[in-house]
Amino acid sequence: MTNADVVALAHSALMDVYACMPVAFERGEGAYLFDVEGRRYLDFFCGLAVTSLGHAYPSVVRAVQEQVGKLTHVSNVFHTEVSARLASKLSLKFGGGKVFLCNSGAEANEAAIKVARRWGASRGGRYEIITAHNSFHGRTLATLAATGQQRYHVGFEPLPLGFRMVPFDDLDAARAAVRDETVAIMIEPIQGEGGVVVPRDERYLSGLRELCDQRNLLLILDEIQTGVGRTGKFFAYEHWQVKPDIVTLAKALGAGLPIGAAIARDEVAACMTHGTHGSTFGANPVASAAALAVLEALEDGSVLENCTQVGNYLMGELKALAAGETKIREVRGRGMMIGVVLDREARPLAQACLEQGLIVNATAGNVLRLLPPLNLTIAQAKEGFEIIRRVLKSA
Ligand SMILES: *Cc1c(COP(=O)(O)O)cnc(C)c1O
């Protein structure tokens, strides 16, 4: 099949909810993807921050192949060693706490919301969760209600109640929004979908932590995009030396296999007793094996170190370019999560990059979002940067 054949077949049968690029990929190798016609692309997108170790990372491939031949599913009526070991490692990373394993980001946030509500139910019947404008927390009805972007809500009302939105990066607004009903504050440390928005207030996250401590609220950090090393630390919150009560992970956790996790402090997780939550596929052994291999690959710190170094290099090049290029308004981000804010719509530029063999993402209208693999080399960073420079120049 050609790219066009696959696109036509997909359009004939799939619900048309994605504004897809007209390319069908066949295989991947490290930082590169190959389409069905054999054309090679440098991947600065990683399937939305998912394949953070690059494609076909050998130890992940091995772990999945071994597990898929042994056991693919037993349900949570029983245990498997692989998911027990994964939960134990995640708990350790968090510094103690209990893990709920599920299959996606929205499900991880849904679990976090349920934990917060159940925790609040026995603490004065509190239920309201403060979230931020411009946030993204998922597409299920509750996570949609938590998402501070009106355009995603249209046509899906009535949405679940119990969410109150405040401007991001505004500590006073969060403080003023706390009411008797408030149980938690849920925030992305760096907004991803919203355009790679890094808080300008260095004290924002620690301020939220203090506010939560003062008012007996839970701090929930949605690290579905920023987590698992994307910003150069395993959890992005480590940059600000704060610790949430609940953190959610998904995207990069399974290196491409669907898996999500909500991790809560022991005292908070204690409210989740038998029968209060569940997922048939949650803690799936194959997805767990992939996630274990990912955690092991990050263990010695060299991938995170590379993420910081090559990410800084790429951001430095982009900032230098921005100095002489009026089409760029701002370059922002952390590690391998970089937003290039343009003076125009980003999608045509993402399209032009694709035609030049570089995959980047357009988000929030005018932001080119770069999410390269954490193990990208300097040479590959240069290769991608050169394409971006050329495309911007001729735009
Ligand atoms: C992608 C994302 C989600 C939703 O994850 P899904 O796996 O698509 O359900 C939630 N929060 C953040 C911050 C995300 O980037």
Which DSSP helix (H) or strand (E) runs through 101? strand 98-102
Residue nearest to atom 15 of ligand 1 (CA): 225
Q: Are residues 79 and 18 in the same domain?
A: no
Question: Looking at ligand 1, which atom is closest to the CA of residue 106?
Answer: 9
Q: Are residues 168 and 234 in the same domain?
A: yes
Q: Are residues 52 and 145 in the same domain?
A: no
Catalytic residue annotation: 136, 222, 251
Into how many domains does the chain fold?
A: 2
Q: What is the pLDDT of residue 150?
A: 94
Q: Are residues 126 and 235 in the same domain?
A: yes
pLDDT digits over 62-119, tens only?
A: 999 999 999 999 999 999 999 999 999 999 999 999 999 999 999 999 999 999 999 9
Q: What is the pLDDT of residue 60?
A: 98
Q: Are residues 287 and 360 in the same domain?
A: no
Q: What is the pLDDT of residue 325?
A: 86
Q: Are residues 52 and 15 in the same domain?
A: yes
Q: CA angle at residue 70 from 66 to 73, to 5 degrees?
A: 115
CATH label of the domain that carries residue 21: 3.90.1150.10
Domain closes at, from 256, 283, 298: 298
CATH label of the domain that carries residue 260: 3.40.640.10
Q: Indicate the burial class of 63 (C-beta count within 10 angstroms; 0-12, 13-18, 19 or more).
A: buried
Q: Are residues 172 and 52 in the same domain?
A: no
pLDDT digits over 292-308, tens only?
A: 999 999 999 999 999 99
Domain closes at, from 298, 331, 355: 298
- Among 52, 102, 136, residue to substitute to test ligand 1 (most atoms within 8 Å of Cβ): 136
Going from the Cα of 137 to the center of ligand 1, the distance in angstroms, rounded, reads 6
347 and 338 Cβ atoms separated by less than 8 Å: no
pLDDT digits over 232-242, tens only?
A: 999 999 999 99
Does the predicted model carry a pTM greater than 0.95? yes
Nearest to 316 by CA among 342, 302, 335: 335
pLDDT digits over 149-171, tens only?
A: 999 999 999 999 999 999 999 99
Q: What is the pLDDT of residue 285?
A: 98
Q: Please give the average per-residue pLDDT across 221-235, as a whole number.
A: 98
Which residues form the pocket of ligand 1, taking CB atoms under 6 Å from any ligand atom?
104-106, 109, 136-138, 188, 192-193, 222, 224-225, 250-251
- Among 224, 247, 279, residue to substitute to test ligand 1 (most atoms within 8 Å of Cβ): 224
Helices and strands (H and E) in the chain: how many: 13, 15
- Among 50, 110, 137, residue to substitute to test ligand 1 (most atoms within 8 Å of Cβ): 137
**How high does pLDDT run on average in the chain?**
98
Going from the Cα of 106 to the center of ligand 1, the distance in angstroms, rounded, reads 6
Q: Look up the domain containing 19 and give its range.
A: 3-57+301-394
Q: Are residues 187 and 325 in the same domain?
A: no
Q: Are residues 245 and 123 in the same domain?
A: yes
In the numeric block, which tokens belong to residue 318? 């982009």
Domain closes at, from 298, 319, 342: 298
Q: Please give the average per-residue pLDDT across 9-19, as a whole number.
A: 95
pLDDT digits over 187-212, tens only?
A: 999 999 999 999 999 999 999 999 99
Residue 314 has pLDDT above 90, yes or no: yes
Q: Please give the average per-residue pLDDT across 352-376, as a whole number.
A: 98
Q: Are residues 150 and 255 in the same domain?
A: yes
Question: Looking at ligand 1, which atom is closest to the CA of residue 48?
Answer: 1
Going from the Cα of 68 to the center of ligand 1, the distance in angstroms, rounded, reads 26
Q: Are residues 115 and 186 in the same domain?
A: yes
Please state the separation of Cα 84 from the chain's center in Å.
23
Q: Are residues 245 and 350 in the same domain?
A: no
